[in-house]
Structure 1
Amino acid sequence: MARKRGRGMAACWYGIARTATVDRAAAWAEIDDGGTVKIVTGVTEIGEGILTVLAQIAAQEIGVKPDDVVIGDNDTARAPEAAHAGATRQTYMIGNVVAIASREARGRLVDVMAKTWDVAPETIRTANGEVWAENTNHRMPMAKAVEHCKGRGVVPVGSASFGTDTTGLAPTDGAGRPWQAYVFGCQVAEVEVDTVTGEVQVLGVWAAHDVGRAVNPKGVEGQIEGGIVQALGQGLMEDYQLKDGRTTTPGFAKYILPTSLDVPRVNSFIVEDPDPIGPLGVKGIGEPAMVPTIPAMMNAIYDAVGVRIQDLPATPEKVLMALREKERRDAERRAAAQAAE
């Protein structure tokens, strides 16, 4: 059995949010009795962790703990529209709009407290559920500050809308601005190829991705790892076949998915290059995480055994056929060189 190792690299760029059309999201934020915060927006949680991210953003902007933030009903009959969960837009679009709404709610509370304490609004600080004025003895819990505001007829509530400024592509020269924000990434994959069976094992992936600003670094790493595992399945295993309009791979017996035993060691490197337009500097990492993985793996296979797989997935059968074809061509070239001598 002969096993050969190789490494390959690939880079990518990816446009955030909807393509060549205006994308928009809206939200309400309120500092409630008891010093808790309620965020209402039509966000859809499909496992990407957006509720955690929004709680972190609201907590940071208003000055409470993430546990004190409640994400309210997302039924768009009662909540502001936030659009779909896709296009790597959730953190960028909804995170930014929640930040703006939270700042407005905090601003209402700060204005009242500044007048009460006779200090400049910019000296008011809020953090960990407390409100205080710098260089003074004025300090009180957030719950007490909210009660104080409402006693003066002010409800600390905010609303906001955040949208993109994009254009379609001109049919003449392709000029345009189809996305407002872009992310970039680069991955290196190391593989081991069994030249007898054609089996490819991914040993490790090194992934560096620009995410703008990492609200939740562990969540970012999870997205990168999940994207790489998805790409591993698409690139090496998942072979969906049709014959006469019907699938011949109706079950997981033939449609192979990666398991925990197939997952390589993933080394994530988070690059923070803040977005210059949004108030938070965030971008996204949902779909971009898997974009460079497959070309990096295919380049690694080529580096290991000298064959270029261009028809996905790179199953053992395809790799073995490519190796046999390479051997045949090499033999023909050697024979031609000997004949020429």
Structure 2
Amino acid sequence: MKKRGKGIGISFYGTGYGNGFPDVSKAKLRLHDNGKIGIYVGATEVGQGAKTALLQIGAEILNLSTENLLFISEDTSLMPDSGTAAASRQTYNTGNAIKIACENFKDKLIEISKEELGLNSTHGLMVEKGEIYLGFFPEKRISFKELVNKYGDGTIEAEGEFIAQTVEMDPETGQGAPYWPYTFNACGVELEVDTLTGRVEILNVRFAQDVGRAVNPRLVEGQMDGGFAMALGYALFEDLNLVKGQIKSNKFSRYLIPTAMDMIDVEKILIEDPEPTAPYGAKGIGEPVMIPVAPAILNAIYDATGVRILELPVTPERLRKAMDTKKNEENFNMELNALKR
């Protein structure tokens, strides 16, 4: 017999290290001999799309296409520290550092161009498409390539630093503002439970995620799919089978993870409410996209079977055992009530 159930999980998540811990990101920009601008930043790419989203933030501020930017993020001898690729902090923290560095770099270019163009003020100077020009008299202009030819490769540069604002929680009262900003989400799941085997099949998923503003919507949707897949494994498949401190599922033939055949097309809803302290309003969502999924699945299982599972993963054996226990308890109570009558 198969029973269907629906469940919802909701969560909120604070960006960054939090609780007053120093959370610093730095970025550096340099003008190179080919007229391209190098963005030097210690934002490690671990599949979350940092190289794409952060590059887009820089391109937007500098009014350049991404093809005219170089993104250097792995060579620690060249780049400043931008903190870890953790705590869903890179888009917000390092994005802000890049934004500040780009603005400082534009100011540097404008100041130098004022002298090169023989102007008495920086007022009206614009930076766009690899050139600095006077907005109300465009004939007065100079290109990035002309500047680097005169000043040399890597000579014109600027830096930016962003420190996230958090407050250490009061150890006595437990009150404070440990994180900023927060992101919010909700996941709804419809599933089917085979009461004979205990197997759970996900039928439909709707997932809404507060992103502040999606710098790259496709990347955000990809993170939502990835987060759902990981949480699906956490909820239904991945069992370390820890016995007296020893991991029994020590190989992938025993430790099951979801495959493409286990995934489902997730209906993704991006909620855009720009965060004023973020670069173009963008929030980090790397870890939050996992959090509401398992609760939604567990609530749907409860809706389908009346069994509240308190241990993960919900393997078929574990669910079948819980359903049998519930049925035995119900039969016992029925017999007990009958005797009382």
Q: TM-score, normalised by structure 2?
A: 0.89
Q: Kindly provide the amino acid, as one letter, of the partner of residue 269 in structure 2.
A: F
How far apart, CA to CA, are the structure 2 residues paired with 1:14 and 1:25? 20
How far apart, CA to CA, are the structure 1 residues paired with 2:66 and 2:290? 30
How far apart, CA to CA, are the structure 1 residues paired with 2:150 and 2:336? 90
The 1:121–1:185 alpha-carbon spacing in structure 2 relative to 1, beyond 3 Å, is farther
Q: How many residues in Structure 1 have an aligned counterpart in Structure 2? A: 338
How far apart, CA to CA, are the structure 1 residues paired with 2:126 and 2:195? 65
How far apart, CA to CA, are the structure 1 residues paired with 2:139 and 2:340? 95
- Per-residue deviation, 1:264: 1.4
Q: Kindly provide the amino acid, as one letter, of the partner of residue 40 in structure 2.
A: V
**DSSP-derived class of the 1:95 partner:** helix
Does 2:60 correspond to 1:60? yes
Aligned to 1:14: 13
Aligned to 2:213: 213
The 1:122–1:200 alpha-carbon spacing in structure 2 relative to 1, beyond 3 Å, is farther
Does 2:91 correspond to 1:91? yes
Does 2:35 correspond to 1:32? no
- Per-residue deviation, 1:140: 6.0
Does 2:231 correspond to 1:256? no
Q: Deviations over 1:163-217 (max 9, x none)?
A: 0222222121111221121111111111111111000011232111112221111
- Per-residue deviation, 1:337: 5.2
- Per-residue deviation, 1:279: 4.3
Q: Kindly provide the amino acid, as one letter, of the partner of residue 36 in structure 2.
A: T
- Per-residue deviation, 1:125: 4.3
Return 5+ residue gaps in structure 1 as ranges: none
User: Is residue 206–residue 267 contact of structure 1 (8 Å, CA) maintained in 2?
Assistant: yes
Q: Kindly provide the amino acid, as one letter, of the partner of residue 107 in structure 1.
A: D
- Per-residue deviation, 1:315: 0.6
- Per-residue deviation, 1:131: 4.9
The 1:190–1:103 alpha-carbon spacing in structure 2 relative to 1, beyond 3 Å, is same
Q: Kindly provide the amino acid, as one letter, of the partner of residue 298 in structure 1.
A: L
Q: Deviations over 1:136-179 (max 9, x none)?
A: 4438685456458849xx96522111002222221211112211
**DSSP-derived class of the 1:251 partner:** coil
How far apart, CA to CA, are the structure 2 residues paired with 1:58 and 1:294? 36
Aligned to 1:138: 139
Aligned to 1:179: 179
How far apart, CA to CA, are the structure 2 residues paired with 1:88 and 1:193? 34
Q: TM-score, normalised by structure 1?
A: 0.89
- More displaced stretch, 279-288 vs 218-227: 279-288
User: Is residue 31–residue 148 contact of structure 2 (8 Å, CA) maintained in 1?
Assistant: no
Q: Kindly provide the amino acid, as one letter, of the partner of residue 255 in structure 1.
A: Y
- Per-residue deviation, 1:244: 3.7
How far apart, CA to CA, are the structure 2 residues paired with 1:60 and 1:103? 11
User: Is residue 106–residue 156 contact of structure 1 (8 Å, CA) maintained in 2?
Assistant: no
**DSSP-derived class of the 2:34 partner:** helix
Q: Kindly provide the amino acid, as one letter, of the partner of residue 169 in structure 1.
A: M
User: Is residue 10–residue 186 contact of structure 1 (8 Å, CA) maintained in 2?
Assistant: yes
Aligned to 2:159: 159
- Per-residue deviation, 1:19: 2.5
- More displaced stretch, 320-329 vs 219-228: 320-329
Percent pairwise identity? 35
How far apart, CA to CA, are the structure 2 residues paired with 1:141 and 1:305? 72
How far apart, CA to CA, are the structure 1 residues paired with 2:74 and 2:251? 35
How far apart, CA to CA, are the structure 2 residues paired with 1:48 and 1:133? 39
Match runs of 1:261-340 below 5 Å: 261-336=261-336
**DSSP-derived class of the 2:221 partner:** helix
Aligned to 2:80: 80
Q: Kindly provide the amino acid, as one letter, of the partner of residue 231 in structure 1.
A: A
- Per-residue deviation, 1:60: 0.9
- More displaced stretch, 190-199 vs 322-331: 322-331
Match runs of 1:194-233 below 5 Å: 194-233=194-233
User: Is residue 189–residue 202 contact of structure 1 (8 Å, CA) maintained in 2?
Assistant: yes
Q: Kindly provide the amino acid, as one letter, of the partner of residue 12 in structure 2.
A: W
- Per-residue deviation, 1:78: 3.5
- Per-residue deviation, 1:56: 0.9
Match runs of 1:117-128 below 5 Å: 123-128=124-129
**DSSP-derived class of the 1:7 partner:** strand
- Structure 1 vs Structure 2 CA RMSD: 2.6
How far apart, CA to CA, are the structure 1 residues paired with 2:134 and 2:324? 76
How far apart, CA to CA, are the structure 2 residues paired with 1:218 and 1:139? 40
How far apart, CA to CA, are the structure 2 residues paired with 1:186 and 1:159? 38
- Per-residue deviation, 1:120: 7.5
User: Is residue 95–residue 279 contact of structure 2 (8 Å, CA) maintained in 1?
Assistant: no
**DSSP-derived class of the 2:48 partner:** coil
Aligned to 1:43: 43
The 1:65–1:195 alpha-carbon spacing in structure 2 relative to 1, beyond 3 Å, is same
- More displaced stretch, 140-149 vs 247-256: 140-149
Q: Deviations over 1:34-63 (max 9, x none)?
A: 331101122222222111112111111111
How far apart, CA to CA, are the structure 2 residues paired with 1:25 and 1:102? 14
